[in-house]
Structure 1
Amino acid sequence: METLVLVNLFHELALKGGNRPLFLKRAKAHVQRALKGTEARLEALWPLALLFRLPQEAWPEARARLGETLGVESFARVLRTAPDLEALKAALAGILEDGGFASFRIRAQRSDKGFPLTSPEVERLLGAFVRERTGAQVRLKGAEREFRVRLLPGAALLEAERHLGPGGLPPGVSGKVVALLSGGIDSPVAAYRLMRRGAEVALVHFHPFPLLPGGSREKAKALAERLVRFQHRLRLHLVPFSEVQRQILLEAPKAYRVVLYRRFMLRIAEAIAREEGALALATGDSLGQVASQTLENLHAMNGAATLPVFRPLIGMDKQEIKAEALRLGTYAISILPDEECCTLFAPKHPVTRADLEVVLEVERRLPLKDLVALALREREVVAYAWPGRKPLGEKAGQAFIMEHGPAGG
């Protein structure tokens, strides 16, 4: 037995003017890739909707995947009937057996203008049928249950089970960004927020291996495995940072260590961005959350980069960020213990209002270009593909690259 699935694309895609065909093409390709391996077959296509047929046993997996597919506003398991009122009532009767509700709404969309009833007439007649069968009240706003009907030439589609998607834009329509990925709660949420706005995101993680064990790298890989579900293809650059830190320890006042760490991270990330063809960097900073995230310190850090530095979480507090991390499924990974670069050798009393002249004076004593080149030369690049594994198409510079497909994809 087979199931029909109707996927509605995010309404914002309809507002893109002359670029609309590109946005819609990317969104449809992204949805089709999300359903790869479920034996889903595209059966019909409308400007902002797609209809798939798939095996009934594949519906739970398809439902889970579509719930995380960017560009999808909603999706539904639908029943196809003959294009007449009695057939729709019979299909509704079967759905009503699944459970009760106190209020409902019928929404009809008539694509076939030859259908003898208007959309409001269909809504009124089917509403009367549901009310008679269930005793539930019609409520146009805030209804407990909503039934949607699409009237097509030669057929009608009735939504039997509706779910919300994440909305947003499909990956790549807004260019490319390199996001700094720490082991904490904030940076994966920041990366996701840019993905949701259509940016293709590459990740950069700085780790203290071999100075400390490799738990930080493994945690970054686990976060990348979770984030790739939203973008489907993802590259993670794993950059050794211990030699940079050693040099800073020798030259910098203790209070300035973290600010200098972060400036070097931005320099290295910018070099990677140029390789990746990215036009901006991104971090998980939230204004005033920790000592390094004061306005003065952020200003001192920004001076190390020439590309724009996006901070999607800048106005959010920790509870808001935690709630989103829980929803995305990154929180449980982020709270695992690890050895993070910025906390290694961190001073007890870090500077909160960095003097840029002090920062620049320290950096004049450091071999900036050599340290950046060393970090880039010794990094690994891990390529992720979801669903399933996909061979890597190209290499990034001289870095060692291994292909890594998430388990269970």
Structure 2
Amino acid sequence: MIYDHLVVRYGELSLKGKNRRHFESQLFETVKRKMRPFQGLNMSKHFDRIVIELNGQSYEPIVKSLQDIFGIHSISLAVRAENDLEAIQKAALIALNEAIEGKKTFKVTGKRSLKSFPVNSMQLNQEVGGYLLRNTEGLTVDVHNPDVNVKVEVKDTGTYISSKSFEGAGGLPIGVGGKAMLMLSGGIDSPVAGYLTMKRGVRIEGVHFHSPPFTSERAKQKVIDLTQELTRYSGGKIKLHVVPFTKIQQTIKDKIPSSYSMTIMRRVMLRITERLAENNHAMAIANGENLGQVASQTMHSMYAINEVTNMPILRPVITMDKLEIMNISHRIGTYDISIRPYEDCCTIFLPSAPKTKPKREKAIRFEKNIENLEELIEEAVNDVETLILEEGKSTDETFDDLL
């Protein structure tokens, strides 16, 4: 194997001032957990990077796993050399030859963090670049737009030479932004909202409203599988709270004018999610609402619905086109699960003409028709089923088992 190390570079967290050490520690813990399936790796944390010694392991699956971790800007394949100019030049030639096939131009980007090294960054560019030109054919230097950039970084632990990098997920490390409850319906939008919420360093717990027998076990399993897929990005585990919602939905159908049933249902969902957030020490609610997409997601509807909670509501996909959301869904692996044809509770008892501009005052008045609403909410919260999904472990009941 030519490459013997991976250099994992931090992204946005490198700008976080006094919080930087905490952010780096959170990221390192996530990387260590993510790397557990790979045997024989040595990892070390440095001021501006994590260095992984491969010890003969194939880099492809490791890089793929690292690309799921928020807080990583890039992952570079690297050759390590001793802090000796001749050794650095030879290692740089190896790295260039590995990457240059079919390409014609290169440049050297030297960085000397170890100030006791006798060659400064500018001289390093010249010494290594000249050596590469003398020992290759048909190549020229292009300092502005090279086909290959040979990065040479002199550190106290050795010199790392890289010529091939992979894009990381960006964002902030999981755990630095608190916790939010994700309202997870089973559609395309809410898993993407969960992914984007986690990208800002927020841990999530899922909340799904299940209305048997009107919604099937297949619909529930669909949400379990979506949560399982999101564990790839969570740093380990995600809790999923399944709320029994049948009695409340039937009561809304019987007591509320049909045009306002969706508005009242969403108000009740928010109340229950807020209770679960308080019980699980979360500070916000996240959902997949997209402005104007359906009747409950107009500005008027949000105004009438949001009144029931003072918790911040995070809506990462609110301004996106549907195609943008679908593209992210494909990329993160949730799309094929989301389009399974099993309905969630939002689609049952759906009124033929839901209000797109509901009045808050009317919603409050209609809600009073349900005299035992607080009792129903308390009962639903008390009867919640909580599942713990963990990356790399299958759920007790898979979608295939249900067919």
TM (norm. structure 2) is 0.90
Give CA-to-partner distance per residue, 1:47-90, whole Å, 9 cap, x none: 12111223433522211110111111111221112323332332
Aligned residues: 393
CA contact (8 A) 2:4 2:80 kept: no
CA 1:154 to 1:294, structure 2 compared with 1: closer, same or farther past 3 Å?
Answer: closer
Name the counterpart of 2:380.
Answer: 375
CA distance in 2, matches of 1:357, 1:19: 44
Matches within 5 A, 1:120-269: 120-131=122-133, 133=136, 135-153=138-156, 155-231=158-234, 232-269=236-273
> 1:100–1:134: 8 Å Cα contact kept in structure 2?
no
- Equivalent pair of 1:208/1:339 in contact (CA under 8 Å): no
Q: Tell me how far 1:136 sits from its aligned partner.
A: 4.2
Q: CA deviation at 1:14?
A: 2.6
* Structure 2 Cα separation of the partners of residues 302 and 286 of structure 1: 15
Deviation at 1:328, TM superposition (A): 1.4
Specify whether residues 259 and 105 from structure 1 end up closer, same or farther in structure 2 by C-alpha distance, changes over 3 A only.
Answer: farther
CA contact (8 A) 1:79 1:160 kept: no
SS of 2:386 mapped into structure 1: strand
Cα 1:342–1:113 change in 2 (3 A) is same
For the 8 Å contact 2:274–2:309, the answer to whether it is kept is yes
Cα distance per residue 1:240-290 (max 9 Å; x no partner): 222111001001111212112111111111111001101111111111122
SS at match of 1:56: coil
Residue 220 of structure 1: how far off its partner (Å): 0.7
2:360 counterpart (356, 363, 367): 356
Distance 2:129 2:393 in 1: 44
What runs of 5+ residues in structure 2 fail to find an aligned partner? 399-403
Quote the residue 1:8 is aligned against.
9
Amino acid aligned to 1:268 = I
Give identity over the alignment, percent: 33
Aligned in 2, Cα 1:265/1:100: closer, same or farther, shift over 3 Å?
A: same
Q: Give secondary structure in 2 for the equivalent of 1:236.
A: strand
Matched residue, 1:70: 70
Contact 1:240 / 1:379 at 8 angstroms: preserved in 2?
yes
Q: Could you tell me which residue of structure 1 aligns to residue 37 of structure 2?
A: 37
Secondary structure of 1:226's aligned partner: helix
Taking the TM superposition and a 5 Å limit, the aligned residue runs for 1:17-36 are 17-36=17-36
Measure how far apart 1:32 and its partner are.
1.3
State which of 94, 119, 124 in structure 2 corresponds to 1:117.
Answer: 119
Confirm whether residue 291 of structure 1 aligns to residue 295 of structure 2: yes
Q: Are the structure 2 counterparts of residues 142 and 356 from structure 1 closer, same or farther at C-alpha, using a change threshold of 3 Å?
A: farther
Report SS of the residue matched to 1:211.
Answer: coil
The aligned counterpart of 1:399 is none
Q: Is the counterpart of residue 57 in structure 1 residue 61 in structure 2? A: no
Q: Greater shift after overlay, 217-226 or 146-155?
A: 146-155
Q: Is the 8 A contact 2:205 2:239 kept in 1?
A: yes
User: CA–CA distance in 1 between the matches of 2:284 and 2:384?
Assistant: 20
Structure-2 separation of matches of 1:58 and 1:94: 18
Alpha-carbon distance change, 83 to 263 in structure 1, aligned in 2, over 3 angstroms: same
Runs of 4+ in structure 1 deviating by more than 6 angstroms, as ranges, are 402-405
Could you tell me how far 1:360 is from its partner in structure 2?
1.3
Partner of 2:278: 274
Q: 1:43 to 1:220 in 2, by over 3 A?
A: closer
Tell me the secondary structure at the aligned position of residue 358 of structure 1.
Answer: helix
For 1:295 and 1:160, the matched residues in 2 are separated by 50
- Deviation, 1:40, is 4.9
Counting only pairs closer than 5 Å after superposition, residues 271-350 of structure 1 correspond to structure 2 as 271-350=275-354
Could you list the per-position Cα deviations for residues 298-350 of structure 1 after superposition, in whole angstroms to 9, with x for gaps in the alignment? Answer: 11110122212121112111111111112211112111211111111112221
Contact 1:34 1:387 in 2 (8 A): no
Matched residue type, 1:379: V
Higher relative contact order (Cα pairs below 8 Å, separated by 6+ residues): 2
